[in-house]
Amino acid sequence: MDAHETEEQQIEALKKWWKENGSSIITGLLLGLAVLFGTRSWFAYQERTAENASNIYATLMTALNNGEHAVVTQKAGMLIADYSGSPYASLAALAVARVKQEQDELEAARAQLQWALDNAGSDGIREAARLRLVRVMTAEGKYDEAEALINQAGASEAYAPLYRELHGDIHLARGDRASARAEYEHALAAMKPELPERQLVQLKYDNTAVLDESGDSQ
């Protein structure tokens, strides 16, 4: 067998191999390129989405500080509708709830807080929404619902004193000062001395003592 014939055989073998495997190689290369560029596009989209949501939320907070409540509501609506998966949407709902509470529109505030509670992606935002929702429900006289919401809370030590305080507020609203005082006492025992919230709880505790001593307690 001469060198020319060997070369021809090699070429034929290469053609045969390419015919059998070439399409799968091309497909693999195309898929690899698609994944590469698709991943890059996905990350770029995520970055744009986060940046857009951040900009809208910054505008919302400026409006909130300036008392432009209509703008706050509008921007919050955009975040909730278009960026519901971002933390900015839940924070926006909390901002609108604050406005509604200041306007004494408790039902509207409750709806916003419930949305934040249901959709928050972080424990911090979720617990902030739950705490404020309990306060709104208590103000509305929905004591059973407020207590149920407290009971749904986790056993986090960081929030336990705050829920104790709110439970005390519910008891006090119902006229059960002894139970309220007990809850405030538990809250104080669990709170660190340097916490600013401690002063208010101490005041509530002291006030229930004054009421008890006046003979108005149950």
Task: Report the alpha-carbon distance of residue 217 to residue 138 in Å, rounded.
Answer: 20
Residue 143 has pLDDT above 60, yes or no: yes
Classify residue 199 as exposed, middle or buried by CB count within 10 Å of its CB (0-12, 13-18, 19+).
exposed
pTM, rounded to two decimals: 0.73
Structure tokens at 162: 């705050």
pLDDT in tens, 83-116: 888 888 999 999 999 999 999 999 999 999 999 9
pLDDT in tens, 187-211: 999 988 888 889 999 999 999 886 5
SS3 217: coil
pLDDT in tens, 57-69: 999 999 999 999 9
Q: Which residue, among 171, 201, 206, has the nearest Cα to 189 in the 3D structure? A: 201
pLDDT at 209: 80
Q: What is the DSSP string of 39-71?
A: HHHHHHHHHHHHHHHHHHHHHHHHHHHTT-HHH
Min mean pLDDT across 10-14, 20-24, 193-197, 208-212 is at 10-14
pLDDT at 14: 56
Name which residue leads in pLDDT, 10 or 122. Answer: 122
pLDDT at 55: 92
Instruction: Check: CB of residue 201 under 8 Å from CB of residue 165.
Output: yes
Angle at CA 136, nearest 5°, toward 78 and 165? 125
Percentage of the chain beyond pLDDT 90 is 56
Residue 159 — very low, low, confident or very high, per pLDDT cuts 50/70/90? confident
Q: Collect all residues with Cβ–Cβ distance below 8 Å to 210 and sequence separation of at least 6.
A: none
Instruction: Check: CB of residue 140 under 8 Å from CB of residue 110.
Output: yes
118, containing H or E segment:
helix 106-119
Instruction: Check: CB of residue 122 under 8 Å from CB of residue 131.
Output: no
Instruction: Check: CB of residue 205 under 8 Å from CB of residue 185.
Output: yes
Task: Report the alpha-carbon distance of residue 164 to residue 146 in Å, rounded.
Answer: 12
Task: Report the alpha-carbon distance of residue 143 to residue 180 in Å, rounded.
Answer: 13
pLDDT at 106: 96
User: Any idea how long the chain is?
Assistant: 218
Residues 99, 104, 105, 109, CA torsion sign: positive
Task: Report the alpha-carbon distance of residue 168 to residue 184 in Å, rounded.
Answer: 6
Percentage of the chain beyond pLDDT 70 is 72
DSSP 30: H
